[in-house]
Structure 1
Amino acid sequence: MHKTKKEKEISPSSAKTQQEITWVKMTKAGNKEAFDQLAGHYYGDIFRMIYYRTQSRMDAEDLTQEVFLKAYKGLGRLTDEDHFKGWLFRIAVNRVRDFHRRKKFLHLFKSIPNDNEDAYVDTQASTEEGPLETLIRKRFRQESEIFLSRLSRMEKDVFVLRFMDQLQINEIATALKKSESTVKTHLYRALSKFKKDRAFQDFLKGE
C-alpha cells in the first residue's frame, strides 16, 4: 500500500508538535483538561530537570508543581504556541534560580533546616547498586560538578539544557531568552572546555 505525498510529509514529530499546539490553543480558550494533557506530557521532563539541579525529591516535586501553575496562569502571554516547550523550560530555569537564591540567602543567616534528602537518595540508590556501580556514580557526579564549576553561568545553563535535558538549540534559546547564535557560541565554548578537561575525559575512558 503506497502512502500519499501528504502522508509522507507528516512525520511523527510534526504530528506531536501539532497536538501540543492544539492543546495550548484549547487551554487559552479555557479548556483546563487540555492543559492537564500538556502537564502530563512534560511533567517527567520538568521534574528530572529540576531534580538534577536541586538533588532533593521533595523540592523538585514542589518546584515542578509551581512551574506548571505559573505556566497555566501565564499561558495567555505565549504568542508562539509552537515554542511552548522552550517557554516552559524557561519558567523552570528561572524558578530553580529563585530557589537557589532563596536557599543561599537563608544559609547566610544559618536558618536552613537540616535536610537529609541527599543522604536518603544516595542510600536508596546504594541498595539497588553494587559497590562498584555506586562508586562510579558518585565519581561521575563529582567530576561533573568540578567540570560545571569551571563554566560560566551561561555556558553551564546551555550545556546542561542541551545534554542533560536534551533540548534543541531553538528551545534553549527560548528557555533562556537568548538568540540562537548566542546559545551556539556558549555551547561551543562549553564543549571546548569539556574536551580539554583531562580528568573528566580520563574518567569517561575508564582510566
Structure 2
Amino acid sequence: MGRTDAADNKGANKDGFDPAPLVMQARNGDRQAFHRLVDHYQPQILRMIHYRTRSRMDAEDLTQDVFLRAYKHIGRLEAPALFRSWLYRIALNRVRDHHRSQRVKSLIGFVSTASDDFRETEATADAPEAPERLEAHAFRERMAQLMESLSRKEKEAFMLRFFDELSIKEMTAAMGKNESTVKTHLYRALRKVKAAAGDGEAFWEVP
C-alpha cells in the first residue's frame, strides 16, 4: 500500500501542492482545510467545466455543485493524494448530467436563448482586444471542428490531457478506466485530430 500511495502522491503533486494533509483534516470536520482545497482547485475545475459547457453561468453553478458533492462525500476518497483527479471525475459526471439535461429540454421544446444572450453580453462587457478575441474564437471553432470525429471517451481523454493538463495517472482516476484503456482513447484521439488537422496543424504530441 505504501508504494501505491507514494506513486499516487507523485502524480498528484505535479503543481507542487500536496492535498493529502488538508483532505485528512477535512475528513475530520475541518471546514477551513476544505476551504483551502477549494481555493486551490476551484479555478481549474471552473475552467474545465466552462470549456465544456460554453456558459460561464452554468460553469459557476456546476463548479459549486462539484465542491458541495466533494465535501459531502470526501470520506469516500480512499487515497487523499488523488483528490485532484477525484474532483475531475465528479466534474466530468456533472458535465455529462448537464448535457443530458440540455438534450432532454431540447426534445420537449423548452430550450431558451437566455444563456446565449447572457454569454454574448458578458463577452462584450470585458472583452479583450478585437484581434485577440477573433483569434481565440477562431481557435475554438477550429478545435470544435477537429474534435467532431472523436467519440465521447476519446474527446474526454484528449481534453483532460491537453486542456486540463492531467497526467496519465490522474486521467485514469478521473475517467474511472485503467491506464491501458485511457492511453488507447488518447492515441486514437490524437490520430484523428492530426488526420483532420493536416500536417500543418499537427501540433499535439503523444505523451
Could you say which residue in structure 2 is the equivalent of 1:178?
177
Instruction: Compute the displacement of 1:117 (Å).
Output: 2.7
CA distance in 1 between partners of 2:28 and 2:46 (Å): 27
The structure-2 alpha-carbon separation of the partners of 1:154 and 1:200, relative to structure 1 and needing over 3 Å to count, comes to farther
What is the SS of the residue equivalent to 1:197?
A: helix
Could you say which residue in structure 2 is the equivalent of 1:59?
58
Instruction: Compute the displacement of 1:137 (Å).
Output: 2.0
Could you say which residue in structure 2 is the equivalent of 1:145?
144
Could you say which residue in structure 1 is the equivalent of 2:128?
128
Amino acid at match of 2:178: S
Could you say which residue in structure 1 is the equivalent of 2:96?
97
Q: What pairs with 1:160-179 in structure 2 (closer than 5 Å)?
A: 160-179=159-178
CA distance in 1 between partners of 2:149 and 2:39 (Å): 35
Could you say which residue in structure 2 is the equivalent of 1:82?
81
Contact 2:161 2:171 survives alignment (8 Å)? yes
Unaligned 5+ runs, structure 2: 1-9
Instruction: Compute the displacement of 1:203 (Å).
Output: 9.8
Contact 2:146 2:197 survives alignment (8 Å)? no
Amino acid at match of 1:118: R
Could you say which residue in structure 2 is the equivalent of 1:117?
118
Could you say which residue in structure 2 is the equivalent of 1:108?
107
Contact 2:89 2:173 survives alignment (8 Å)? yes
Unaligned 5+ runs, structure 1: 1-9
For the pair shown, the structure with the greater C-alpha radius of gyration is 1
CA distance in 2 between partners of 1:118 and 1:184 (Å): 35
When normalised by structure 1's length, the TM-score is 0.84
CA distance in 2 between partners of 1:119 and 1:178 (Å): 37
Paired residues in the alignment total 190
When normalised by structure 2's length, the TM-score is 0.84
Q: Percent identity among equivalent residues?
A: 43
Instruction: Compute the displacement of 1:201 (Å).
Output: 4.0
Structure 1 segments of 4 or more deviating over 6 A? Answer: none
CA distance in 2 between partners of 1:67 and 1:121 (Å): 23
The structure-2 alpha-carbon separation of the partners of 1:15 and 1:110, relative to structure 1 and needing over 3 Å to count, comes to closer
Could you say which residue in structure 2 is the equivalent of 1:188?
187
Contact 1:143 1:200 survives alignment (8 Å)? no
Amino acid at match of 2:129: E
Compute the RMSD of aligned alpha carbons.
2.3
